[in-house]
Amino acid sequence: MPEKVVVVGAGPVGALAALYAAVRGHDVDIYELRPDIRDPATAPLNWNKSINLALSERGINALQNTGLPDLADAVLGETFPMHGRMIHLEKKGEYVRIPQLYDPRGKSLLALDRAELNKALLDHLESMPNVKFFFNHKLLSVDFRKQLAWFDKHNKSEAPEERGTEIEIKFDFMIGADGAHSAVRYHLMKFVPMSYQQEYIDKLWCQFHIPSTPAGDFRLPPNYLHIWPHDDSMFIALPNLDKTFTATLFHTRSGFEALDASRKVADYFTTHYPSVVPDLITAADLQKQYTENAHLPLISIKCTPYHYTSTGVILGDAAHAMVPFYGQGMNAGLEDVFALFTLLDAHPSDRATALAQYSATRTPDAHTINDLALGNYREMATDVKSRVYLLRKWTEEK
């Protein structure tokens, strides 16, 4: 029987969950706090910037199991393979680049524009008659027993008397995919004894855009995830289809404060990240982007269980936000969707059992990926440049 499935959050995980539910014939309503990212008139500015991610086996598998092969092909067609990482180092005063393959059989990570993935999923959802969108709707509260939820409707294009009004909706099943600061999780906690743990690590991140060359080519070998390791800080760059790179500086809070105070960002880069300035980005552009782009914190969240009886579940960052050093946050969230619907399909008339199994099996997996992500900072920022490590990788690849 089709049921009313309410998905909160239209990010990559919420959009994929909505698709899995819609393909199974349910009436799917998607509530999203922000405006539609596909509408250039209303999309928040920072959504138009390329935020590229590494898509890996977990995410690819979840996309390929939607039952919509054309959609998966279209999404995967807009990715760029990264066969390995390339470490940029200065050794005895000489700049060296050391490639390290990810997989001896040639498997690659895929660089993907998060906004493009999101848009492709939303476009497909829009074409389905059993899906409705409610953008500019902020979840305020949920009663998982009565299966009621309340949203603040704040669409600026509505008539003034319609703006900022609260609406009440009824649902059979709510999927919370509303990110690290999840309102669904907050309300779920009132219905289940949920263990919850969060940690802000001592790293901030700031994103940079590396343009293509004047001839329109990549400034670095494109099929790699580039890393400039420097222990407390690290600079990385992932390729985009338009032959630019999106790069990220990770540094301690005090490291960012020191750069803020000195304004000598280019000097820091010249000292620690060989060849970045001016080969990839000019000193002036680097300083401008450093000043204009946000310096954002990184949170790691573990909780369990993820569900309440048969009426609600949280997925993606809402359930297990993780630091980005293992490149698995979104991938694990997409895999949540596949894992959840595999269990729902196995228990077609007993969602409570499916959800209980989901929490039981997904918790150890999610907690492990979370720990691996925390541990992988050291691998990326320090271990990759040790002699022993380089020798081991070199021997593995032979």
Question: What are the residues binding ligand FAD (CB under 6 A)?
Answer: 8-14, 31-34, 53-54, 138-139, 177-179, 183, 205, 248, 316-317, 324, 327-331, 333
Output the CA–CA distances (angstroms, integers) from residue 66 to 15, 19, 164, in the order listed: 11, 7, 35
Other CB atoms within 10 Å distance of the CB of residue 208: 21
Other CB atoms within 10 Å distance of the CB of residue 69: 11
For strands 52-55 and 109-113, give the pairing. antiparallel
Q: How far is the CB of 390 from ligand FAD (least distance, A)?
A: 23
Q: How far is the CB of 337 from ligand FAD (least distance, A)?
A: 10
91's tokens: 């050794």
Residue 264 vs 295, nearer CB to ligand FAD:
295
Distance (Å, whole) CA 205 – CA 324: 10
Residue 34 vs 38, nearer CB to ligand FAD:
34
Residue 53 vs 303, nearer CB to ligand FAD:
53
Q: How far is the CB of 14 from ligand FAD (least distance, A)?
A: 5
Other CB atoms within 10 Å distance of the CB of residue 185: 22
Q: How far is the CB of 358 from ligand FAD (least distance, A)?
A: 16
Residue 108 vs 328, nearer CB to ligand FAD:
328
Which of 359-396 are b and which e, b meaning 16 or more Cβ less than 10 Å from the residue's Cβ?
A: beebbeebbebbeebbebbeebbebbbeeeebeebeee
Residue 79 vs 310, nearer CB to ligand FAD:
79
- Residue found by looking up tokens 């199974």 in the block: 24
Q: How far is the CB of 208 from ligand FAD (least distance, A)?
A: 12
392's tokens: 């081991």
Residue 154 vs 264, nearer CB to ligand FAD:
154
Q: How far is the CB of 332 from ligand FAD (least distance, A)?
A: 7
Q: How far is the CB of 338 from ligand FAD (least distance, A)?
A: 14
Residue 64 vs 353, nearer CB to ligand FAD:
64
Output the CA–CA distances (angstroms, integers) from residue 187 to 32, 142, 295, 353, in the order listed: 17, 6, 29, 21
Residue 47 vs 308, nearer CB to ligand FAD:
47
Are 149 and 9 a contacting pair, CB within 8 Å?
no
Q: How far is the CB of 12 from ligand FAD (least distance, A)?
A: 5
**Alpha helices per DSSP H over the chain:** 12-23, 45-48, 57-64, 69-77, 114-126, 183-188, 253-262, 265-272, 283-292, 317-320, 329-346, 351-381, 387-397
